[in-house]
Amino acid sequence: MIKKRISGIWNYLIGDAPQFSLQSRIYHSICIITILVIFYTIPFSLLNNLPWLALLSSGLLCLQIFLYYLSRYRNWLNTSMIIYAVIFNIFFAVSYYFSSGIQGSVLFSFITVHFLIIATAQKKHYWLWTLGNIILVISLIVYEYYHPEFIIDSYNDRVTRFIDITSTYIVTILLIFACLTYIINNYNVEKRIADNSLSKLQQLNEEKNKLLSIVSHDFNSPLSNIQTYLDILERTDLNPESRKELEKELRQVTNDTQHFLNNLLLWTKKQMEGFDFSIAAIDINKCLYGTVEICRNLAVNKGISFEYEIHQDTFIKTNNDIYQLIVRNLLNNAIKFTPSGGNITISSVLDKQFLTLQIRDNGKGIPQNKQNQIFTSTVKSTFGTNNEKGTGLGLRMCKEFTEALNGKIWFKSEDGKGTTFFLQMPLGYHFE
């Protein structure tokens, strides 16, 4: 609990990932750590009889808090970072002469400051900051070499020198470790986000290609057929029987096209907007009455017997319109792949928690080598027993919609002997 609270405070101080870039969050971390280090420097300077350094550090502390405020709350990252780099290089350049020069610990501080600057600076400025740091440090060392009298030995004894150099080294290592660890962890987080985005983009691209393929091929074909039928009806003097047969075919093609278009529109909406279905307890018989009657007529017109055996007064938790769409797709498939003289049965199995709808036919069945593709985008267009056109979209959509409604869908099939689809939904409530 304490760890989680500390993590929450830290994330607030450095800024949330969506609002602040990785560069900004790293810089805010550096600012906070620098503030803590300066807090350490003030009492250490006083203990070593360096009141001027304690006073300078106090002013630097106020400046560092202001720089943090500029970036974190005013979003002036680059301005704050440049001021930070310049001020701290000047500070350590001055401290170099007042802290025993090359015999002291300030060189470690130059390394730390440069590392922190590179961690947050723009890539195009890396060499500028690096050359500046090298030139500054070498200039200080050369000047000390020729003018050692300007160097003030700030250590009272050998023990103080060892403590200062050792503590500065430890602080430098810890700062570099903390900063590198944070950068690496955030890099991995950003990489995972990028990988997920790439995966979603690839998936969307596949969906787009699938959609274009369906529209360009499968949607164009039935429209061409409708146009052909209409041309024949307009230009040809048909006898009543031929005309009736042609009108029947035209009705079938129109029905298939409308069915496909409804599926396509819903599936496209799902891909673009996601699922937002309201779920309620509905009477399954009232929900399916219209759908079943339409499909019954289609089956009878094709010469297929149709049986309906669903529990009465049974309620399931689902979305009325989407559940009808799923069942309509399953029944249309059964009709499509069942030959004249065949049989389709829609029944239900009831237990304490679920109602499972079973749609059984004795049609063509699904070949074994295609069964693992039925609910995927890899399934290709198929033709029914009367050359009814399918797109391969309906069953995949059924699975996606079923899972969105907290249900399950599966099937059993044997090539040449028929198929049974199972559609399971949680119960709403049930009257005995």
SS (H, E, C) 97-120: HHCCHHHCCHHHHHHHHHHHHHHH
| CA 349 to chain centroid | 38
Closest by CA position to 134, among listed 101, 103, 107, 169: 107
Cα-to-chain-centroid distance, residue 331 = 35
Confidence of residue 135 (pLDDT cuts 50, 70, 90): very high
Amino acid residing at 408 = K
For the chain, percent of residues with pLDDT exceeding 90: 15
Say what the pLDDT of residue 400 is.
82
Q: 361 phi and psi, to 5 degrees?
A: -135, 165
Average the pLDDT over 129-133 and give the result: 91
Half-sphere exposure of 419 (CA within 13 A, CB side): 23
Look at 42-46, 58-62, 223-227 and tell me which has the smallest mean pLDDT.
Answer: 223-227
- CA-angle at 327, arms to 322 and 329, nearest 5°: 95
With beta carbons less than 8 A apart as the criterion, state whether 336 and 394 touch.
no
Confidence of residue 432 (pLDDT cuts 50, 70, 90): very low
Instruction: Kindly report which listed range (2-11, 33-42, 209-218) carries the lowest average pLDDT score.
Output: 209-218
Q: What is the mean pLDDT of residues 76-97?
A: 88
Average of per-residue pLDDT across 22-41: 82
What pLDDT score does 55 carry?
85
Lowest-confidence range among 35-39, 234-238, 276-280? 234-238
Please tell me the distance from the alpha carbon of residue 92 to that of residue 110, in angstroms, as a whole number. 7
> Which has the closest alpha carbon to 299: 343, 363, 247, 346?
343
Handedness of CA 114, 116, 117, 122 (dihedral sign): positive
Assess whether pLDDT exceeds 60 at residue 310.
Answer: yes
Say which DSSP state 383 is in. B
Q: What per-residue confidence (pLDDT) applies to 391? A: 47
Give me the sign of the Cα torsion angle 200, 201, 202, 207. positive
Kindly report the backbone phi and psi dihedral angles of residue 391, in degrees, each rounded to the nearest multiple of 5, phi listed first: -110, -15
Phi/psi at 427 (5° precision)? -70, 145
pTM: 0.48
> How many CB atoms neighbour CB 279 within 10 A?
18
pLDDT above 70 covers a percentage of the chain that reads: 82
pLDDT at res. 431: 44
- On average, the pLDDT of the chain sits at 81
Looking at per-residue confidence, does 76 or 217 come out higher? 76
Query: Could you report the per-residue pLDDT of 388-426, keeping only the tens digit for each?
Result: 545 456 787 788 888 888 899 999 988 888 899 999 999
pLDDT digits (tens, 9 = 90+) for 147-178: 988 888 878 788 888 888 898 888 888 878 87
Residue-wise burial string across 84-111, b where 16 or more C-beta atoms lie within 10 A, e elsewhere:
bbeebbebbeebbbbbbbeebbbbbbbb
Q: Where are the domains of the chain?
A: 2-156, 276-432
If one compares 383 and 203, the residue with the highest pLDDT of the two is 203
**Average pLDDT of 17-32?**
82
pLDDT one-digit tens code per residue, 180-224 = 887 788 778 778 888 888 887 887 777 666 656 555 555 655 666
Return the exposure string of 182-196: e unless at least 16 CB atoms fall within 10 Å of the residue's CB, then b. bbeeeeeeeeeeeee
Could you tell me the CATH superfamily of domain 276-432?
Histidine kinase-like ATPase, C-terminal domain (3.30.565.10)
The closest of 247, 252, 219, 221 to 234, measured between CA atoms, is 247
**pLDDT, tens digit, 9 for 90 and up, residues 295-306:** 888 888 888 999
The confidence score (pLDDT) of residue 370 equals 81
Q: What are phi and psi of 175, to 5 degrees?
A: -65, -45
Residues contacting 341, CB < 8 A, separation 6+: 303, 304
Asked if 49 and 160 count as a contact pair (C-beta separation under 8 A), the reply is no
